[in-house]
Amino acid sequence: MLIEYGLLVAWLRRRTSRSRWAMLIGLLVCILVPLLQFMVTTERERLSIVCDALVKAVDVGDVAAIELRVSDSFDAEGYDKESFMALVNRGLERVDIEDASMTGDSFEINGSHAVVIIRADCFVNMEGFHQRLPSKWRLTFEKIGDEWKLIEVTPISTPVFPYNRLHDLPM
């Protein structure tokens, strides 16, 4: 917008057709660039939207919403889609999760395959445990059509989240 203001001042001082065209082209660019940014979604943005949707589904306990984002070819530590969804269902029945949020640490996209490292944070209520629990996860996705689907999930051990396998989680 500052450039457009400069072009307007130049046109007002000189009033030449060249400065008028420069101002009009600058104005057009100022309008079109934000419009294009709004219309175009990058693969990283799409993955971030899927990760946010997964975290929100965990927050509200919506197993069906999680299942929609899990690929039929899911395979993590011997869990297929059906057994993983059973694990998620048991976990969400046993643990009350509130205030879940996430931050994407890294996104590695290679064609139709992507690995996303996220930091998740939530308040956990379960028998004998009532506190905020930050965690770190490695999510692997495959692109099926226009959608990114989860094919593997691995917890990443941190000082406050000492789990590095799904089997280690207290579910």
- Tell me what percent of the residues of the chain surpass a pLDDT of 90: 57
Q: Average pLDDT over the chain, rounded to whole? A: 86
Query: For the segment 3-48, what is each residue's pLDDT rounded down to a tens digit?
Result: 666 656 666 676 677 766 776 777 777 777 777 766 767 899 999 9
Who wins on pLDDT, 55 or 127? 55
Distance of CA 101 to the CA centre of its chain: 10
Most confident of 11-20, 63-72, 156-165: 63-72
DSSP structural state of residue 166: G
Give the pTM.
0.76
Residue recorded with tokens 């992507």: 114
Architecture of domain 43-168: Roll (3.10)
In 61-123, which ranges are continuous DSSP H helix? Answer: 63-68, 81-94
Q: What average pLDDT score do residues 152-167 get?
A: 89
Question: Would you list the domain boundaries of the chain?
Answer: 2-39, 43-168
